[in-house]
């Protein structure tokens, strides 16, 4: 997993190499400690080089000596240490400037392409989703409201919440006056509204939405959790 705050995910009292070795040792308890440390160091150098860091210098550094972008690249290398099949990315570029964000995503795309590792990206940035994801799931109040290929979700916007998110996002190609905010506030997860959890903020809600939770309507690879799909289903 690559966490949102790399500075909080790294141990401030240990060098980068020591943290890699510690994790590697925990997951390889069967071999000789000396041999495992040698293998862990070799793997650390390989992975730091892969994310375009100077391994010889970075692996002996402490987290406070690294910039934000360097820390995040260390975390990406860390996530590859045990040869995973899945990497979870929790807002991996939130604290970084736009140029560094683009650089990080180039590395992630390369990892996905060359290693074939599935990546689950958690983000509020619709632009990042459009650029990076093959599939997108739109969550609201802890529930999956819409799911499909990124192209289909952005083009069709079968759920009013998906439509609202896209309409409220600034664009270089349209007037800011055309942006339409979603009214109201997110729900209190301790006291969710009855029926469809989005109905208090939905411009298309009906009396049915206020009392009956919609089912998942699935067509091909596309899913929408909305009563409107019963009358607009293609």
Confidence (pLDDT) at 233: 55
161 contact partners, CB below 8 Å, separation of at least 6: 138, 140, 145, 146, 182, 198, 201, 202
179 contact partners, CB below 8 Å, separation of at least 6: 167, 168, 169, 170
Q: Does the pLDDT value for residue 234 go beyond 60?
A: no
Confidence (pLDDT) at 209: 96
Joined together, the tokens standing for residue 221 give 């690879």
Distances (CA, A) of 18 to 14, 54, 59: 6, 16, 8
Q: Give the 3-state secondary structure of residue 176.
A: helix
Q: At how many degrees (to 10) do helices 68-79 and 98-115 cross?
A: 10
Which is it for the CA torsion 148, 151, 153, 156, positive or negative?
Answer: negative
Kindly report, residue by residue over 114-132, the tens digit of the pLDDT. 999 999 999 988 888 988 8
Distances (CA, A) of 120 to 103, 114, 204, 232: 18, 17, 31, 30
The superfamily CATH assigns to domain 6-126 is: P-loop containing nucleotide triphosphate hydrolases (3.40.50.300)
Confidence (pLDDT) at 99: 85
Q: Which residue has the tokens 């392409």?
A: 113
Q: Does the pLDDT value for residue 232 go beyond 80?
A: no
Q: How many other C-beta atoms can be found within 10 angstroms of the C-beta atom of residue 177?
A: 6
Residue 60 binned pLDDT confidence (cut-offs 50, 70, 90): very high
Confidence (pLDDT) at 222: 95
Kindly report, residue by residue over 128-162, the tens digit of the pLDDT. 898 889 999 999 999 999 999 999 999 999 999 99
Q: Which one is predicted more confidently, 93 or 78?
A: 78
Q: State percent of the chain over pLDDT 90.
A: 71
Kindly report, residue by residue over 179-188, the tens digit of the pLDDT. 788 999 999 9
Helix, strand, coil percentages for the chain (3-state, nearest 5): 45, 15, 40
* pTM greater than 0.75: yes
Kindly report, residue by residue over 5-55, the tens digit of the pLDDT. 888 889 999 999 999 999 999 998 876 788 888 999 999 999 999 999 999
Q: How many other C-beta atoms can be found within 10 angstroms of the C-beta atom of residue 7?
A: 15
What integer is the mean pLDDT of 80-99?
89
What integer is the mean pLDDT of 200-207?
94
Domain positions in the chain: 6-126, 135-232
What integer is the mean pLDDT of 80-95?
90
């Amino acid at each position: 997993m690559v966490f949102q705050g790399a500075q909080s995910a790294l141990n401030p009292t240990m060098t980068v190499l020591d943290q890699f070795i510690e994790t590697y040792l925990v997951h390889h308890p069967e071999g000789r400690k000396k041999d495992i440390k040698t293998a862990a160091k070799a793997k650390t150098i390989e992975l730091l080089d892969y994310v375009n860091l100077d391994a010889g210098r970075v692996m002996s550094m402490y987290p406070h000596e690294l910039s934000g972008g360097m820390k995040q690249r260390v975390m990406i290398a860390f996530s590859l240490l045990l040869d995973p099949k899945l990497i979870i990315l929790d807002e991996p570029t939130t604290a970084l400037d736009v140029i560094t964000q683009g650089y990080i995503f180039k590395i992630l795309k390369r990892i996905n392409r060359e290693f074939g590792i599935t990546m689950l990206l958690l983000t509020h940035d619709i632009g990042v989703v459009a650029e990076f994801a093959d599939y997108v799931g739109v969550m609201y109040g802890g529930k999956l409201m819409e799911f499909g290929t990124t192209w289909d979700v952005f083009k069709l916007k079968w759920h009013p919440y998906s439509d609202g998110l896209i309409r409220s996002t600034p664009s270089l190609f349209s007037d800011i006056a055309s942006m339409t905010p979603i009214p109201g506030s997110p729900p209190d997860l301790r006291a969710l509204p009855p029926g469809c959890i989005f109905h208090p903020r939905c411009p298309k809600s009906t009396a049915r939405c206020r009392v009956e939770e919609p089912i998942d309507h699935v067509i091909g690879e596309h899913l929408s959790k909305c009563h409107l799909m019963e009358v607009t289903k293609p």
